[in-house]
């Protein structure tokens, strides 16, 4: 049985599944744009492709997103044709639906089964679009652009034979006629690796070394931006720093464009919101705020392990791995009462839920938890147990993914 993964940043969400399938006896291949990956990655044979053209300068603005995906789809199509000419015929293709890469796979291999990782289907209401009135889109025609962002999903769904999605809410964003093809299986958390460490120490600077005895508040996002609530967290900082004179704030995240554009007036979101709050904070208070930028994974885990209270905020959007990893290390979490966060954080059981926009409530709940060591321990213990029972990589998610592939491949 020959399986071909397609993902521009392979392994991506298939980091655990692809090697596991090689151990199950499948012949695993991967087609990717990833340059810095060996030709034999954990048993998967890597084939690299490049975009055949760049985006057009004068294309209609509503079509910018779709053109990018068509370019990827065309590039994969041409790469697949070459593979076919060399007698390469996969029994099954597993692709991430979001990049457009698998748009034309069935044109090359019409009898090959196509499976999709379904991460998100854009919505006009009830999701991230216009969720935040501070950044509301005032152009009435923008809903047309949003509709066209789903063209890739719409074209691909007619060819997809089976799919998985990491959370129920993300699966439910897809059209009703397609949902019966989607199995809800998360990528999984390695709870043995992502575990509490009572002896953890972090050296922030020559003068500051933190341990579990210190009061530490953590905030993590790939990029510090409104979609992940950085503006709300920033606005809570002045009150937190006043109420908690011994607390240190560790902030992980880059300043690059993320799920949305950078500020219209230039710069980045971190600097924009720092400028907004800085005059409300004394110099001594600001010295306890540490922007750590992008960090290595081992350092990221250490930051979660040393956390007294972890803050996770998001628009209704794709669930971050970082939330489940924070739960797995036993963090006491204050999180936004948004979907799909509600699937994993039960209020006062596995964390504390607050209104996304209420930074005063955020500051109050964080400060209360700092004072209540026993409550932090209870919430963290419950959170870790919940992840172990429902999202453990080796015992729950990976076996379910393998079973999904087997049930799918048995029909071939």
Q: What is the pLDDT of residues 291-349, one digit of tens each?
A: 999 999 999 999 999 999 999 999 999 999 999 999 999 999 999 999 999 999 999 99
Query: Are residues 13 and 116 both part of a single domain?
Result: yes
Let me know if residue 282 belongs to a domain.
yes
Query: Are residues 168 and 260 both part of a single domain?
Result: no
pLDDT at 411 over 80: no
Let me know if residue 354 belongs to a domain.
yes
d(CA 277, CA 270): 11
Query: Are residues 148 and 168 both part of a single domain?
Result: yes
Let me know if residue 195 belongs to a domain.
no
Let me know if residue 25 belongs to a domain.
yes
pLDDT at 101 over 90: yes
> Which class for 124: exposed (0-12), middle (13-18), buried (19 or more C-beta within 10 A)?
exposed
Query: Are residues 233 and 283 both part of a single domain?
Result: yes
- What's the token pair of residue 248? 């240190």
Query: Are residues 367 and 401 both part of a single domain?
Result: no
Query: Are residues 248 and 302 both part of a single domain?
Result: yes
pLDDT digits (tens, 9 = 90+) for 125-167: 999 999 999 999 989 999 999 999 999 999 999 999 999 999 9
Query: Are residues 268 and 371 both part of a single domain?
Result: yes
Share of the chain above pLDDT 70, in %: 100
Report, as an integer, the average pLDDT of 349-367. Answer: 98
Number of domains in the chain: 2
Answer whether the bond into residue 155 is a cis peptide, omega within 30°. no
pTM of the model: 0.95
Report, as an integer, the average pLDDT of 267-296. Answer: 97
Query: Are residues 264 and 183 both part of a single domain?
Result: no
- Decide if 351 contacts 334 (C-beta within 8 A): yes
pLDDT at 409 over 90: no
Please give the residue range of the domain that contains residue 25: 2-188+393-409
pLDDT at 410 over 90: no
Let me know if residue 194 belongs to a domain.
no
Query: Are residues 128 and 184 both part of a single domain?
Result: yes
CATH of the domain at 38: 3.40.50.2000
Let me know if residue 260 belongs to a domain.
yes
pLDDT digits (tens, 9 = 90+) for 21-69: 999 999 999 999 999 999 999 999 999 999 999 999 999 999 999 999 9
Query: Are residues 60 and 184 both part of a single domain?
Result: yes
Query: Are residues 33 and 180 both part of a single domain?
Result: yes
Contacts 24+ apart (CB under 8 A), 197-206: 197/302, 197/305, 197/329, 200/302, 200/305, 200/306, 201/306, 202/250, 202/299, 202/302, 202/303, 202/306, 204/248, 204/250, 204/290
pLDDT at 390 over 90: yes
> What pLDDT score does 162 carry?
95
Let me know if residue 193 belongs to a domain.
no
At 276 the three-state DSSP class reads: helix
Q: What is the mean pLDDT of the chain?
A: 96
Let me know if residue 196 belongs to a domain.
no
Query: Are residues 103 and 245 both part of a single domain?
Result: no
Angle between helices 373-390 and 321-328 in degrees, nearest 10 = 120
Cα separations in angstroms, 363 against 195, 233, 306, 367: 27, 8, 19, 6
């Amino acid at each position: 049985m020959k399986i071909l993964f397609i993902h521009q940043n392979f392994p991506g969400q298939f980091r655990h599944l692809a090697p596991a399938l090689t151990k199950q006896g499948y012949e695993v291949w991967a087609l990717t744009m990833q340059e810095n990956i060996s030709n034999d990655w954990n048993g998967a044979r890597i084939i690299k492709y490049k975009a055949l053209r760049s985006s057009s300068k004068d294309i209609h603005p509503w079509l910018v997103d779709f053109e990018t995906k068509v370019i990827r789809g065309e590039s994969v199509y041409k790469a697949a044709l070459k593979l076919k000419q060399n007698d390469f015929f996969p029994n099954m293709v597993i692709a991430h639906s979001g990049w457009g890469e698998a748009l034309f796979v069935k044109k090359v291999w019409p009898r090959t089964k196509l499976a999709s990782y379904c991460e998100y289907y854009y919505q006009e209401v009830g999701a991230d679009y216009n969720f935040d009135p501070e950044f509301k889109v005032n152009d009435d025609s923008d809903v047309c652009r949003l509709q066209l962002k789903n063209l890739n999903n719409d074209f691909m769904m007619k060819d997809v034979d089976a799919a998985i999605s990491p959370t129920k809410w993300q699966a439910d964003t897809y059209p009703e006629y397609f949902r019966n093809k989607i199995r809800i299986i998360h990528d999984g958390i390695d709870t043995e690796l992502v575990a509490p460490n009572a002896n953890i120490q972090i050296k922030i600077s020559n003068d500051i070394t933190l341990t579990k005895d210190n009061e530490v508040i953590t905030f993590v996002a790939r990029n510090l931006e409104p979609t992940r609530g950085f503006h709300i967290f920033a606005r809570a900082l002045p009150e937190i720093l006043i109420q908690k004179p011994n607390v240190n704030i560790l902030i992980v995240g880059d300043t690059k464009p993320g799920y949305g554009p950078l500020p219209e007036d230039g710069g980045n979101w971190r600097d924009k919101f720092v400028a907004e709050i800085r005059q409300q904070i004394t110099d001594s208070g600001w010295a306890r705020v540490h922007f750590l930028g992008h960090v290595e994974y081992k350092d990221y885990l250490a930051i979660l392990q040393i956390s007294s209270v972890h803050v996770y905020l998001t628009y209704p959007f794709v669930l971050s791995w970082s939330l489940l990893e924070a739960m797995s290390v036993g963090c006491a979490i204050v999180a936004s009462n948004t979907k799909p966060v509600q699937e994993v954080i039960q209020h006062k059981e596995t964390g504390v839920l607050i209104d996304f926009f209420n930074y005063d409530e955020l500051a109050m709940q964080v400060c209360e938890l700092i004072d209540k060591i026993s409550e932090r321990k209870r919430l963290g213990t419950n959170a870790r147990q919940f992840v172990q029972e429902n999202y453990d990589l080796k015992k729950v998610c990976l076996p379910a993914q393998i079973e999904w592939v087997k049930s799918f491949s048995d029909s071939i």
